Every structure is written in structure tokens, then in C-alpha cells.
Structure 1
């Protein structure tokens, strides 16, 4: 029996949906994750690269991303941070890091 999509897949889908809802569609160009654990939690660290068209809606979405709520089944997004934004004409490339934690 399958448990469903993992945290990385759910996070990617949630980011794409949230950006679309904000009026700034994105494409995920790279995505990688590594397992993470502390004394009390287990989860994963994620590194993603996004590409989007330059727009005021994108800028607004990025500013609020660290406070955004994401609905992931079985996981919480404990932290999400915009690491770097590069602008090339009308194309914006965004590097993100996130931490997901398994719900117990």
C-alpha cells in the first residue's frame, strides 16, 4: 500500500499552487532534499530552484513566502527561505531552502 507523495513532491505541488493562486505562475527547475533529524523531530531539508516571469505579484509572493502556510499531508513546513533572486530581463530565478518535519 502506498503512503502517497513524499514531502518533496507535496512541497513542490504546494509551491506551484500557491504561486498560481497569487497570479505568478512558477516552474520548478531543480529540486533536491536530504534527510534531517534532531533529538525530537525527523524530516528533510529541501533546496529548490524556481523560474518565473518578472511581475509585481511575484515580488509580493516572495516577500510573504516565509509566513505562508502549506498543507502537506503528514508533514509541516517548519521553515522556508528565499536564498537568492536573480533577474535576467523578464525571467526571475529563485533559490529556496525549506525544512519539512514529519507530523506525529
Structure 2
């Protein structure tokens, strides 16, 4: 049984590959960031519970996007994810500005 998938296709297969890999990279790096920061916060003598909760909520947001296969079936949706979350990574690595 063939599923009917509504995909907005990029011009070339390489564009599709680039979009999926970029989306995955951005989301996975933000997931890793939340994990590193939660561990660092938990290891402090007096952890900030509000920050831990905020990091957990951000992790759940990013992870939900990453686990939803529908996000990877539409080029426009992947472009939206990249447009929203890639600038967060850029600020983290170029300006030391962190989302949480």
C-alpha cells in the first residue's frame, strides 16, 4: 500500500538532502545543548530549578519537532525550522548568547 505524501520538493535531490541534514543538525545540536546545560546546572552546589525546568521545556519543544516525521516531508516546513532555530545556534557560537 503506497502512502500519498504531500511533499513540497526542492529543485534537486541534493537540495532535499541538504534541507534534511541541516534540519537534523540544527535540532540535534539544540538537544545536545539542553542536555549539557542541564547536567552542568544539576552539578552546581545550588542548582537553579527554574533554569533546569526551562531547559527541560526547551528540550521537549525541540525533541517534539525532531521526532515528528511530518516535519521532514515538506521542504517549506524544514526551511521554517531552520529559519527559526539556526539563528539561535549562530548566536550561541558567535556571540555567546544562549536561549536559556
TM-score (norm 1): 0.27
Which structure carries more strand by proportion? Answer: 1
Q: Which structure is richer in relative contact order (CA contacts within 8 A, separation 6 or more)?
A: 2
Q: Which has the larger radius of gyration?
A: 2
TM-score (norm 2): 0.28
Which structure carries more helix by proportion? Answer: 2
